[in-house]
Chains A and B, each alone.
Chain A
Amino acid sequence: MGASPVQERIQAIERADSHQSLTQAVWALAADPEEAAIPTLIEVLGYNNPGAAVAAVEGLVRLGEAAVPSLLAQLDGYDYGARAWAIRALARIGDPRALAVLLEAAGSDFALSVRRAAATGLGHLHWSQLAERERERAQLRALGVLLGVAQDPEWVVRYAAIAGLQALATAQPQLRRQAIAQCARLEASDSDAAVRARAALAREQLQPGSK
């Protein structure tokens, strides 16, 4: 009996002998992924091959909630490159089971690529999957962390915190006032023009009366 299509595609990844053939093989697996592909896709995040990692994240995002338990269980504490891709996949899937991991990573991971991905993800969780009281608590915690992350020393993390704040306050209008105030502060005083511009955009779009 021959190997199943998904097994064949996993074997193609193991056989790949160049960056490009690996990337192609991962795209083939990620195009129409099955749950059996999850461990392989997560492993690819640690290969230090950005092209292949982009493809693996795409595959994991397509699998959605089914990939969340493995992503949470296999977060790599030693390889920050792999961790950043995994957090990015969790952020894009938006499953609220990732909340605790995202809160922790956004506020205190030493790697800026991890903090950046987590901050963005905190804005984009699927809040409706939580019961009402739990939702309010979770959103308040996300707000608190994002207000802090908006003062990160790295420009790209502050930029991501603004994007996260904007998404969070769009989902929960009660948090708008604080998000707008933080954006106005960054708009007035941030050292980086790109951060000031992103803060201005978020403030304008959150302002009552804007779409």
Chain B
Amino acid sequence: MVEQAPLTAERAIANLQQQDDLGLRYYAAWWLGRCQIARPAAVKALIAALDDELDRSPDGGYPLRRNAARALGKLGDRQAVPALIACLDASDYYVREAAAQSLEALGDARCVPALLQLLEGGLEAAQPVPGKPHLVQPYEAVLEALGTLQADEAIPYIRPFLDCSVAKVQYAAARALYQLTGEADYGERLVSALQADALPLRRAALMDLGAIGYRPAAEAIAQAPAENSLKLVALKGLLEHQLAAPAPEGDSQQLMALMDSLL
């Protein structure tokens, strides 16, 4: 292999725009996102990469499109929103998933109708794809985005997913409904999930509770059978919610004492 010079923003953008070496393009898209190169030329090249036809995986997927969609979520430039909305129709599940996650990160509510379309058919439509480790749509990402984007009109479409056969989709629904309604019942569902049998589910519940900053979960988070690293991230989420919008029942010193005990 030829040795590569360290990437610069200019080189990464050029690598993304050339068509001879697919590996270089794929890596450049990831690198631009990771290094948060938010300059207009990078955003433009990444948006163009969302239409790529050259880079195909054996299962018909679009690896470059996936990476470009993920990177655009990290750059914070809302010019990418229309192109990412178009990606919600992509044939590749992972492109749709990446687009939903990035639209959530960009925080632009224009995508809400397109996200709602992916929930069409409700729970009956939410079936596994034969031979794949996922359901027909990236429900987890879609539900989380609807919650973060404060899409009140989505509430009746989200609620059925509390009974989805996939536990993480249930959690995503509870998380979104808590964000949309502030009702403790949804937060408590996630607190119960801290005792799920499988460690990955307990981890997912920790991340969800941190993301919504559900204050009554603090003790349960500290006691959950999971790594301290993840409990600390979850409690940090609670603390930062408390600091941003002090709630009368909240006490940031108590939260910090819990965090200290997990170091």
Q: Would A159 and B227 count as touching, CB distance under 8 A? A: no
- A156-B232 contact given A198-B256, A201-B253, CB 8 Å threshold: yes
Docked-complex contact B256 and A54, CB < 8 angstroms:
no
Bound complex: CA A117 to CA B227 (Å): 13
A156: chain B residues at CB < 8 Å are 229, 232-233, 236, 263
**Which A1-43 residues sit within 8 Å CB-CB of chain B?**
19-20, 23
- Which B residues between 19 and 62 are near A, CB-CB below 8 angstroms? none
Asked if A140 CB lies within 8 Å of chain B CBs, one says no
Query: With A113-B229, A156-B229 known to touch, is A197 a contact of B256 (CB < 8 Å)?
Result: yes
A194-B239, A198-B256 known; A50 and B263 CB under 8 Å?
no
Interface string of B136-172 (1 = CB under 8 A from A): 0000000000000000000000000000000000000
B5 touches A (CB below 8 Å): no
Cβ of B122 to closest chain A Cβ, rounded Å: 34
A116 and B232 alpha carbons, distance in the complex (Å): 11
* Contact assessment for B239 and A19 in the assembled complex, using a CB-CB cutoff below 8 Å: no
Does A68 reach chain B (CB closer than 8 Å)? no
Does A160 lie at the interface of the complex (its beta carbon under 8 Å from any beta carbon of B)? yes
What residue of chain B has the Cβ atom nearest to residue A18's Cβ? B197
Residue of B nearest to A111 (CB): B229
Residue pair A50, B225 in contact (C-beta under 8 Å): yes
Complex: A119 Cα to B228 Cα, angstroms: 15
Known: A50-B227, A155-B236, A197-B256. A19 touches B263 (CB 8 A): no
A144 located at the interface, meaning its Cβ lies under 8 Å from any Cβ of chain B in the complex: no
Say yes or no: B252 contacts A197, CB within 8 Å: yes
Q: How large is the interface on B (under 10, 10 to 19, 20 to 34, 35 or more residues)?
A: 20 to 34
Contact check, B226 vs A50: say whether CB atoms are below 8 A apart: yes
Interface majority SS on A: helix, strand, loop or mixed?
helix
Residues of chain B within 8 A of A113, CB atoms compared:
227-229
Which single residue of chain B is at the shortest CB-CB distance from A118? B263
Answer whether residue A120 sits at the interface, using C-beta atoms and an 8 A cutoff. yes
Say if the beta carbon of B244 comes within 8 Å of chain A: yes
Proximity string of chain A (106-143) to chain B, C-beta cutoff 8 Å, 1 when within and 0 when not: 00000011001101100000000000000000000000
Smallest beta-carbon distance B212→chain A, Å:
16
Give bound CA distance, A198 to B257, whole Å: 10
Q: Give A208 Cβ to nearest chain B Cβ, in Å.
A: 20
Q: Is B69 an interface residue (CB 8 A)?
A: no
CB of A146 within 8 Å of the partner chain? no
With beta carbons under 8 angstroms apart, the residue of B199, B243, B259 that contacts A159 is B259
**Docked CA distance A146–B225 (Å):** 29
Give B236's nearest chain A residue, CB to CB.
Answer: A194
Q: Does B240 contact A (CB under 8 A)?
A: yes
Determine if B243 and A160 form an interchain contact, defined as CB atoms under 8 angstroms apart: no
Query: Looking at the complex, which one of B233, B244, B253 makes contact with A193 (CB distance below 8 Å)?
Result: B244
Nearest opposing residue in chain A for B229, CB measure: A113
B249 interface residue per 8 A CB criterion: no
- Contact digits for B239-260, partner A, Cβ 8 Å, 1 yes 0 no: 1100110000000110010011
- A163 on the B face (CB < 8 A): yes
Q: In the complex, what residues of A have CB within 8 A of residue B239's CB?
A: 193-194, 197
Complex Cα spacing A198 to B236, Å = 11
Residue numbers in B under 8 Å from A54 (CB-CB): 225
Q: In the complex, how many angstroms separate the beta carbon of B85 from the nearest chain A beta carbon?
A: 31
**Is A51 an interface residue when CB atoms closer than 8 A count as contact?**
yes
CA distance A191 to B253 in the complex (A): 19
Choice from B225, B243, B244, B260 contacting A23 with Cβ under 8 Å: B225
With the chains together, A156 CA to B232 CA distance in Å?
Answer: 8
- Inside 8 A of A50's CB, which chain B residues have their CB? 199, 225-228
Q: A201 CA to B263 CA in the complex, in Å? A: 16
State how many angstroms separate the Cβ of A104 from the closest Cβ of chain B: 18
Complex-state Cα separation, A204 to B67, whole angstroms? 46
Closest to B230 in A: A50
Question: Residues of B at under 8 Å CB distance from A?
Answer: 197, 199, 225-229, 232-233, 236, 239-240, 243-244, 252-253, 256, 259-260, 263
Chain A residues with CB under 8 Å of chain B are 19-20, 23, 49-51, 54, 81, 88, 112-113, 116-117, 119-120, 155-156, 159-160, 163, 192-194, 197-198, 201
6 A-B pairs (CB sep. < 8 Å): A23-B225, A54-B225, A163-B263, A193-B244, A194-B243, A201-B253
